[in-house]
Amino acid sequence: MLARQRLGEAGERLAAEHLRNLGYLIEQTNFRCRRGDIDLVCRRDGEVVMVEVKTRSGVSHGRAEEALGETKRRALVECATEYRRLTGWRGPIRHHAVAIHLEVLHDFFS
């Protein structure tokens, strides 16, 4: 497994734990469909919440939230449509993003 994949999986676990602490019920991780995948499918307050998690360990490839452009938004909406079709869900679906930034602060106390 590549370091990038391990970082992404660790970020998804951290995001899921944080969301649980905020009262979200994690129903599914890595929901896959023809157009892509949704990192976390949650429920809260009678709604389904699709969560995209972006984790970065530096800024060389941009900040985490910068990876959430129009192409990704369209893919997430299409995945949500497929989720509705496969599960029969008729209620509201919200889309959230969790951005995780990991940074080493070298010689911080020097």
8 A C-beta contact, residue 99 and residue 63: yes
Of all residues in the chain, what percent are helix, strand and coil, respectively (each to 5)? 35, 35, 30
Provide the number of structural domains found in the chain: 1
Per-residue pLDDT in tens (0 to 9) along the chain, 110 residues: 688 888 889 999 999 999 999 999 999 999 998 888 999 999 999 999 999 999 887 766 677 677 778 888 898 899 999 999 999 999 999 999 999 887 777 787 87
pLDDT tens-digit map of 40-70: 999 999 999 999 999 887 766 677 677 778 8
* CATH assignment of the domain containing 71: 3.40.1350.10
109 within domain boundaries: no
Rg of the chain in Å (alpha carbons) = 15
Amino acid at 100: I
108 within domain boundaries: no
The pLDDT score that the predictor gives to residue 104 is: 74
107 within domain boundaries: no
Tell me the residue range of the domain where 28 lies: 3-101
